[in-house]
Amino acid sequence: MTVPVHLRQDETFVLNLGPQHPATHGVLRVKLTMDGEYVVKAEPVLGYIHRMHEKMAEEGTFVQFFPNTARMDYLHALAFNHGWALVVEKAAGIEVPERAEYIRVITVELNRIASHLLWWAAFLLDLGGFTPLLYAFDDREKIIDLLERITGSRLTYSYMRFGGVYNDIDDEFIAGTRDFIKRLRGRMPRLYHDLVTHNIILIKRIKDIGLVSAEQCRRYGATGPVARGSGINYDIRKNEPYSVYPEFDFEVPVFNEGDSMARYMVRMHEMEQSMRIIEQALDKLPGGPVMGKAPKVLKPEAGYYYSAVETARGSLGHRLVCDGGKNPYKLKLRSPTFCNLSLFGEVAEGMLLADALAFMGSLDLVIPEIDR
């Protein structure tokens, strides 16, 4: 319910949705100027978890940056791994064997499902439904167990290397993944959709809240489920395919309403599509090596390189400037949530506080990714 608000100078107060707050997913501070329960002005203040990853990239070699990639968006760390591997492989001209590409896709899509599950859980927690958190984490635990067997980490994966992945997958992983997909498909209709998606309180709470138009998305550079919930059909896996995504048959869910309900439905459908991709990838998995030829000390040709991958939050871009040395000369990480959050100031004006928080939850923010 967005209503234009008359600002009477002496009647507004500043509410600090401080860095420590249960609803800001990470350390985000939002300075809200409030008129009673209505938000008059919203100003996100960033930088509370800024660790200067871009300088760290310049100080170390290319391969030393892999652990950093996982620490930014810890929920979809494998996609960040993938993006970094892609840009450097482009720059240095390294070939990746097919089995490694398939393994990359399988693990990235599993991670995407895990990320969306956690988003779902945290979103509902913000809205006051405490139970779905536990149901989602039950499924997420299965994914994390699977990925831990092959990568060694539960959350911050440094699984990929230039030229492939460092560890092969085994039959137990494949069988476990198939079991997991069967289990999640069985649980989805009752536990996720009947209990939550069709719940009248939830529907009333997020329908028509946080309307973002397609033009706003374009002007602010919002991508991912935020743009797809506003009717923009843009998914890097389809529009600018990389790795082996052209081999798979999957759909890109697009909803036109632009409200929080649309973004919610986009992510729920994306989980199903990710499961489809994983199934097809497991069926088509070729044999062969998982690591291509890469020089020990990587010195890509000097120039300007860009690569984009689709993470759970949007289009992640790596802008790499090389000068022929063994360190990157400059790395800029175009974080999807950084651009998604810049919408917040404009869209949240005139909303109720509870609605503003529901809108923030539907944007799927991970603050370490914004602050890098």
Partner 1 sequence: METSMWRALLYLVGIMAFAGVNAAWLGWCERKGAARIQRRIGPCEAGFAGLMQPLADGLKLMSKQLLVPQGVDGIIFRVAPVLAMIPAITSMAVIPFSENIGARAMELSVLLLFALASIGMIAILLGGWASGNKYAIISAARGVSQNLAYEIPMLLTVITVVLISGSMNLREIALTQQGGFWHWNIFRLENGHFLTMWISFIIFFICSVAETNRAPFDMAEAESELVAGFMTEYGSMGFGLFMMGEYLNIVVGACLTATLFLGGWDCPFGLTPGVWWFLIKIYILIFTFIWIRWTYPRTQIYRLLNLSWKILIPFSLANLLVTAALIKVF
Partner 2 sequence: MLEKTLVALVELFPEPASAAAPAGEGTQEAPLREAGVVATGFAKHGSHLDVLCRPDQVVAVAQIMDREGYFLEAISGVDWLDMQQFEILYDYNRLGGEHCRVLVRTRVPRREPVVPTVSHVFPAADWHERETFDFYGVQFQDHPNLIRILLPEDADFHPLRKDFKP
Q: Where do contacts with partner 2 occur on this chain (CB under 8 A)? A: 46-47, 50, 52, 54-55, 58, 87, 90-91, 93, 217-221, 223, 227, 232-234, 239-240, 301-308, 315, 317, 319, 321, 323-324, 329-330, 332, 334, 338-339, 342, 346, 371-372
- Contact present, 323 and 52 (Cβ < 8 Å): no
Q: Per the structure block, which two tokens stand in for 108? A: 């990235």
Which is nearer to partner 1, 14 or 52 (by Cβ)? Answer: 14
Minimum separation from the CB atom of position 297 to partner 1 (A): 49
Residue whose CB is less far from partner 2, 37 or 95: 95
**Cα gap 207→205, rounded to integer Å:** 6
Please, which residue, 133 or 321, has the CB nearer to partner 1? Answer: 133
86/121 with CB nearer partner 2 = 86
Smaller CB distance to partner 1: residue 294 or 351?
A: 351
- Please state, as a whole number, how many other Cβ atoms lie within 10 Å of the Cβ of residue 344: 22
Burial of residue 4 (CB within 10 Å: 0-12, 13-18, 19+) is: exposed
Nearest Cα to 270, choosing from 314, 306, 304, 240? Answer: 314
Per partner kind, with CB cut-offs from 5 to 8 A, the member of partner 1, partner 2, none near residue 68 is none
Residue 21 binds what, of partner 1, partner 2, none (CB under 5 to 8 Å, by partner type)?
Answer: partner 1
Q: Which does residue 183 touch among partner 1, partner 2, none (CB within 5 to 8 A, set by kind)? A: none
Provide the b/e sequence for 14-38 (b: ≥16 CB within 10 Å): eeebebeeebbbbbbbbebbbbeeb
297: exposed, middle or buried (Cβ count in 10 Å: 0-12, 13-18, 19+): exposed
CA distance 177 to 288: 20
Judged by beta carbon distances under 5 to 8 A according to partner kind, the member of partner 2, partner 1, none in contact with residue 166 is none
Decide if residue 31 touches partner 1 (CB under 8 A).
no
Q: Decide whether 182 or 204 has the Cβ nearer to partner 1.
A: 204
Q: Minimum Å distance from CB 345 to partner 2?
A: 9
Asked whether the beta carbons of 5 and 329 are under 8 A apart, the reply is no
Residue placing its CB nearer to partner 1 in the complex, 7 or 201: 201
Q: How far apart are CA 162 and CA 291, in angstroms?
A: 8
- From 126, 259, 369, 371, residue interacting with partner 1 (rule: CB under 8 A): 126
23 binds, among partner 1, partner 2, none (CB under 5 to 8 A by kind): partner 1
DSSP 212: -
Question: DSSP code of 163?
Answer: T
Under the binding rule (CB under 8 A), the answer on residue 5 touching partner 1 is no
Q: Within 10 Å of residue 361's Cβ, how many Cβ atoms?
A: 24
Taking the complex as a whole, the smallest distance from the CB of residue 184 to partner 2 amounts, in Å, to 30
Q: Which residues bind partner 1 (CB under 8 A)?
A: 1, 13, 15, 21-23, 37, 124-131, 133-135, 138, 195, 199, 201-202, 204-205, 352-355, 357
